Chains A and B, each alone.
Chain A
């Protein structure tokens, strides 16, 4: 069966891509970034040194194997990455393995991104259906213009506006998200509180990203509507909603899956900023903290995880596309 071969090819492709991502990571952080001891030991070791030498720095360089040839370090790096060892944080939480810091944060981000993407897609399909069906009419113009405007807004600014209007001025939603409080709460109130806090971040996400889906669906509906089978559907006497539901949408839906491929890169970027402004303790806020602390190993780990996540999500979308399109599936 062809599908199985496609799956295999895709898997090999993903593994090769991950190898290149790891190589890029090594190149950026180990070769271009230079000596990490300079971040850790600023201005001549931190202690006054008469001879100008720095035994501490020399010791660190030896301990971190920075005196080894590049090719040896590269091999060590790859072995570590593929066995799940992402290194050790140097300034943010000194001495703690990067993977240990990232793991709990990953879940928070995945929940945010999952809920936000589902909501964005749902609303995007509704809006895209309306504007595709009423192309050129006022409803279409309003939807297209407002989604494009939302798409042009930087997500950090939308977050600020939403918090300002709905949390600071009219005190409906919380300003600050206290993750520590969940230790004292039972399951039900935890879930409810979590959902309550998620509303504004998800709204930000929807405002800035809904254009991906609404415009894609609108354009693919435009391609589908003049087709012969749509005329047949109308001639059969189907109502508008029946034409749309049974004939137009199933055909117009496919490009949505392709559109979501490029969308994942945006999701990660959007989530980072939204998490910072809404004080959500996920990968995004960790990125901010690692950035301000110049914690290169931590930053390198986050970059690796985020990029691999996007690559895998893309591969899944490709496979899903294959599964949804009977023409591709049975070819």
Chain B
């Protein structure tokens, strides 16, 4: 009898905690949906994620060498977007291509966020010589033109999925570090930090319990914008022939455009080859950018009047 009351109490506590979180999320979702920019961005992201990762249901398994037909066929009822230079159905490749673009976009963004947030928080919070060195380093990496840098990185590290993600992260972290640093600088001056220090909290505790939770919303907005940039950068790398490749690697949208270009689809007028993948890249990049700007607007209402 006594046991059940304890269990019941624990359960109701859990429900109470959860309901608080659910309520908070519900309120955030309501604000998010009200922001037209963010909502349109989410709609695009969800649509393309569903298409790309639901590819096996939509167009069947990823084509193997056995499924090859005649190459460079124009659109027909059998192949809605024609076939590529090897004789694979282009619609199938197009639908699958988003997987690689999105996976690279998300992974590179995560790595860049960890790097950028760490540099921003350390520099901003500890100040002094640490900040000076980290801020100068950020400025230095910010000024290097991104495309030559990322090309050089991928060539030197030899192109593969992990090295592409790493290279994109290396060119993406500085802008995050700068944004996070300036946010840390303002949070650091707030009174509750001083109070926390007054009751004897250690530096590490303040960073973990007060600084990081307060910059997290901004990190999320930055992360979404970085996904947008990463998808964009991956497309450029692939166009340079430095995309992830191999017999069992799914071709990304950038790789499709590269192959169409290399195999002279342009001169032959095969618009169905290079047109759709480029359009998908554009829309996905735009979708993440819209959600990112929308989130920034929500986090920082001062931007709204712009």
Contact = CB atoms under 8 A, between A and B. Distances in A.
Partners in one complex: yes
B257 A157 contact: yes
B151 A156 contact: no
A269 B286 contact: no
Where chain B touches its partner, the secondary structure class is: helix
Contacts, number: 118
Contact of A168 (B145, B146, B228, B267): B267
A164 interface: yes
A169 B267 CA distance: 9
B257 A291 contact: no
B305 interface: yes
Interface string B42-63: 0000000000000000000000
B152 interface: yes
Contacts of A81: none
Nearest to B286: A152
Interface in B134-176: 140, 142-149, 151-153, 155-157
Contacts of A272: 147-148
A272 B239 CA distance: 12
Interface residues of A, number: 47
Query: Which bracket fits the contact residues of B?
Result: 35 or more
A248 interface: no
B213 interface: no
A168 B269 contact: yes
B152 A17 contact: no
Interface stretch (B66-74, B91-99, B244-252, B273-281): B273-281
B98 to A, nearest CB: 15
B240 A164 contact: no
A138 to B, nearest CB: 16
B242 interface: yes
A5 B121 CA distance: 33
Interface in A277-308: 277, 287-288, 291-292, 294, 299-300, 302-303, 306-307
Contact of A17 (B143, B145, B157, B286): B143
A161 B269 CA distance: 10
A219 interface: yes
Given A21-B144, A310-B145, A273 B239 contact: yes
B306 A307 contact: no
Nearest to B277: A157
A71 interface: no
Interface string A12-44: 000001001100100011001100000000000
A254 interface: no
A198 interface: no
Interface of A: 17, 20-21, 24, 28-29, 32-33, 148-149, 152-154, 156-157, 160-161, 163-164, 168-169, 175, 219, 222, 262, 264-266, 268-269, 272-273, 277, 287-288, 291-292, 294, 299-300, 302-303, 306-307, 310-311, 314
